[in-house]
Amino acid sequence: MRSGPFLNRRALIRGSAAAGLLAVPAMGALTSCASGGGSGDDGGAERGETSADNPFGVSADADLEVVIFDGGFGDQYAVDAEALYQQRFGTVDHTKTQEIQSLLQPRMVQGDPPDVIDNSGAQAMDIAALIRNEQVHDLTELLDAPSLDDPNVTVRDTLMPGTVEMGQFGSEAVYRLNYALHVYGQWYSRTALERLGAEYPRTWDEMLTLCEAARREGIAGWTYPGVYPYYFNFTLYPFIGKIGGIEVLQALDNLEPNAWRHDAVRTAFEAYYELTARGYVLRGSPGMTHEESQTEWTEGRALFIPNGSWVENEAAATTPEDFDMAVGPPTGLDSSDAMPFGTLWASPGEPFFVPAAADNVPGGLEFLRIMLGRESARNFTELVSSLTVVRGATEGMSLPPGLTSASEILDAAGDNLVSSRLPDWYRQLNNEEIGGAVAAMMAGEIEPDEAIDRCQRAADATAQDDSIQKFQHT
């Protein structure tokens, strides 16, 4: 692992902390483990004759049950894809909810799940636990099937890089399909920066200078959803990778001893703590939901918010016409960074899976194949202002400002992409323990050293817990 020149900047950060700390946020219940088992590879459905048009042998009258997370993307895109399913097969029973876990966990345990689940949001089920209990159908046959638009091209070959890998959990099997291509970063208003006569900050000194200029105008530098503090990881993790290199993030994912005590992690935590110590975080942020913090941001009370590319759609109702939404790569530390400024976290998100015990597994697979068709992918982008994992689906489309910006920084990053598997390999560790430590630090309740100790203790406890399946970067 790397250490060295950036430590001088860390020393400066340590010496600059001041008063003005915020209150600790309340933490919501974010996850729990699943239990119970599924029955059979195809649930209760019998497969009919297969063809290029019907590669899974879905029966002509096979009904389908779909449950969609009703979050930033809403559910209209799924309703439209369901209409395409109903043109050829049975009817669709559609449910939208923000309470995925509480609604579906009992049904998973009882062996009576829906056919397709959009397992997203703060109440998503622990996919690793479901896989361990053999409750999730392997999607390999979907990936190897003819694509909807060209029978000579497999579904696998229509997907963006990283999509298949994000569905794998320590084996060749693929258990989930992440549909949206999320670009994470520091979201901002170009109009707001122009009013301050400022450029987007590339180094941490530039970030602090900009935040101070904003404060003089009565504007906070940052806000964030303290109720869901893992949002900070959308910029904190790539910041760590930018400072110390991608191997630091991989060590965190691998639960390596003392990985959280790496100099790059400490430097990043101290930089973020400086935002709080100097009073650059919007007062009240620790107690805000994602929607509340986004509204504070779109109404101009803070410059930056850590978020993903779903935010343009999710915050559309409160976004002024002249806001000119944009996203930038996480601000770097200084010239000693191991990776270039344009490095960012971009990866497939919004995970779908087909339960192993579903009544209509073939229909679930066909529904996902429909969603991966060009028509559904373009419809998704038009409706919710987000990219999908379908290659080339946005060609020729006119995109809104935020999505245009996300596409631009994704292109500029090239191969300088980083990601973290903690959110899906170890959901509770990421959302509750690490998220809680970062939340307490950003609320001024603890300092960086204690936050790091809490993260390391939680990672060690996860590593030593034999009931939790472990995964490794290879």
The answer to the question of residue 304 being in a domain is: yes
Q: What percentage of residues in the chain have a pLDDT greater than 70? A: 90
Give the residue with greater pLDDT, 154 vs 471: 154
Least confident of 43-57, 193-207, 392-406: 43-57
Q: What average pLDDT does the segment 329-357 reach? A: 96
Give the pairing type, strands 387-388 and 177-183: antiparallel
Would you say residue 273 lies in a domain?
yes
Tokens of 216: 């003089």
The predicted structure's pLDDT at residue 305: 98
Domain that holds residue 318: 7-29+183-346+420-464
The whole-number average pLDDT for the span 200-218 is 98
Query: How far, in Å, CA of 273 to CA of 265, rounded?
Result: 12
The answer as to whether 410 is a domain residue is no
**Residue 24: pLDDT over 70:** no
Whichever domain contains 266, its CATH number is 3.40.190.10
Mean pLDDT, residues 232-242 taken together: 96
Question: Is 23 part of a structural domain of the chain?
Answer: yes
Q: Is the pLDDT assigned to residue 51 strictly greater than 80?
A: yes
What does the pLDDT read at residue 20? 36
- pLDDT-based confidence at 44, cuts 50/70/90? low
- For the chain, the domain total comes to 1
At 282 the pLDDT is: 98
Average pLDDT over residues 316-337: 97
At 2, the pLDDT band (50, 70, 90 cuts) reads very low
Predicted local confidence at residue 32, as pLDDT: 29
In a domain, 89, yes or no: no
Per-residue pLDDT tens digits for 436-466: 999 999 999 999 999 999 999 999 999 999 9
Residue 25 has pLDDT above 70, yes or no: no
144-172 pLDDT per residue, tens: 999 999 999 999 999 988 899 999 987 88
The tens digit of pLDDT for each residue in 168-202 reads 987 889 999 999 999 999 999 999 999 999 999 99
With bands split at pLDDT 50, 70 and 90, how would you rate the model's confidence at 42? Answer: low
Taking 80 as the threshold, does the pLDDT of residue 287 lie above it?
A: yes
Can you give the pLDDT at residue 100?
Answer: 97
What's the whole-number average pLDDT of the chain? 90
Q: What is the pTM assigned to this prediction?
A: 0.78
- According to the model, what pLDDT value does residue 317 have? 95
Residue 132 included in any domain: no
Give a three-class secondary structure readout of the chain: CCCCCCHHHHHHHHHHCCCCCCCCCCCCCCCCCCCCCCCCCCCCCCCCCCCCCCCCCCCCCCCEEEEEECCCCCCHHHHHHHHHHHCCCCCEEEEEECCHHHHHHHHHHHCCCCCEEECCCCCCCCHHHHHHCCCECCCHHHHCCECCCCCCCECHHHECCCHHHHCCCCCCCCCCEEEEEEECEEEEEHHHHHHCCCCCCCCHHHHHHHHHHHHHCCCEEECCCCCCHHHHHHHHHHHHHHHHCHHHHHHHHCCCCCHHHCHHHHHHHHHHHHHHHCCCECCCHHHCCHHHHHHHHHCCCEEEEEECCCHHHHCHHHCCCCCCEEEECCCCCCCCCCCCCCCEEEEEEEEEECECCCCCHHHHHHHHHHHCCHHHHHHHHHHHCCEECECCCCCCCCCCHHHHHHHHHHHHHCCCEECCCHHHHCHHHHHHHHHHHHHHHHCCCCCHHHHHHHHHHHHHHHHHCCCCCCCCCC
pLDDT of residue 313: 87
For residue 351, being part of any structural domain is answered with no
> Is 316 among the domain residues?
yes
The yes-or-no verdict on residue 235 having pLDDT over 50 is: yes
Classify the C-alpha dihedral 10-11-14-16 as positive or negative: negative
